[in-house]
Amino acid sequence: MSSQQAKENILRKIRQALQTPTERPVPKPDFTTPIYTRSNQDPSVIFAETFIRNKGEFFFCDGKKDLLAHLSLFLQKKGLREIYAWEDELAPLLSEAEIPFRKDETRFLHAEVGITLCECLIARTGSILISSKQTAGRRLSIYPPMHIVIAYTSQLVSDIKDGLQLIQTRYQDAMPSMISMITGPSRTADIEKTLVLGAHGPKELVLFLVEG
C-alpha cells in the first residue's frame, strides 16, 4: 500500500467516525467536588508539618504571654536590631514585650526583619495568605531578608479555595489589588538545578501560631 493510499484510509476512517454519533458521551466534569479529601486531623498539625517541610520555622504559642516570650527570645538569639512592623495591631504587642521596632520607613534599606499579620493560613499546603489590604502593604513581606508572621489558630482554613472565599467574603467589591500565597522562603533552582533560598524575597520565613 502506498503512502497516499494509507493517508486516504486514515482520513476515511476519521470521516466515518465523525458521522457516527457517540453512544456514551463523555460526562460533564463536576467542578463542585473537592480535588483533595479533607482530613480529620487537627488543621494546626497539618499546617505545621507542611510548613516545616517547606523550610519554614514554626513556633506554637499558648496565648499572648507565650507569644511575647518566644518572639522576644527569638529576636535576641538572632541578634536582630532593624525590626519593622507597620500594622497597628502589632504595636501594643511589641511594645509590651519591649521589642524595639520601626513603624515608619526610616532606614528601611537596612531592614533585617519585617513582622506582619496575615489574612489566613492554608493547612493543606502550609501556606500563608497575605494581601495589599493589610497595613503592612506589599513591601514588608518581601524586602527584608527575614519575614516573621504572627497568626492565630482561628485563621486556619483547609484549602486554597477556602482562603480565597474568605478574602472575597471579607472585602466584597473592594478586593485587594494583590493577594499573595507564601509557601516557604523564597527559592529558585534555575541555576544548575541547585536550590537557593532567598533568591526573590526573604531567605527565612518564621511563623508564630497563637492559640486563639
In CATH, what number is assigned to the domain containing residue 151? Answer: 3.40.50.10420
Tally the domains of the chain. Answer: 1
Say which DSSP state 104 is in.
S
How far is the first Cα of the chain from the last one, in angstroms, to the nearest whole number?
77
d(CA 115, CA 147): 6
Cα Rg of the chain, angstroms: 25
| Domain assignment of residue 71, yes or no | yes
The upper half-sphere exposure of residue 175, i.e. CA atoms within 13 Å in the direction of its Cβ, equals 11
Cβ neighbours of residue 111 under 8 Å, at least 6 residues apart? Answer: 82, 84, 143, 144
Each residue's pLDDT tens digit, 154-194:
999 999 999 999 999 999 999 999 999 999 887 665 666 66
pLDDT recorded at residue 158: 94
Share of the chain above pLDDT 90, in %: 70
| Domain assignment of residue 115, yes or no | yes
| Domain assignment of residue 24, yes or no | no
Indicate the length of the chain as a whole number: 212
Q: pLDDT averaged over the chain?
A: 89
Identify the weakest region by mean pLDDT among 31-35, 97-101, 143-147.
31-35
Each residue's pLDDT tens digit, 107-132:
999 999 999 999 999 999 999 999 99
Instruction: Using the predicted structure, report yes or no on whether residue 198 has a pLDDT greater than 60.
Output: no
| Partners of 187 in the β-ladder | 197
Helix ranges, 83-159 (H): 90-96
Instruction: Using the predicted structure, report yes or no on whether residue 26 has a pLDDT greater than 80.
Output: no
pLDDT band at 10 (very low <50, low <70, confident <90, very high): confident
Whole-model pTM: value is 0.81
| Domain assignment of residue 111, yes or no | yes
Average pLDDT rounded to a whole number, residues 92-120: 96
Torsion angle of the four alpha carbons 167, 172, 177, 183, in this order, in degrees rounded to the nearest 10: 10
| Domain assignment of residue 14, yes or no | no
Higher pLDDT, 117 or 37: 117
d(CA 165, CA 159): 10
Only one residue has cell 503512502, namely 3
Whole domain around residue 146: which residue ranges? 43-187+194-210
pLDDT band at 19 (very low <50, low <70, confident <90, very high): confident
pLDDT band at 49 (very low <50, low <70, confident <90, very high): very high
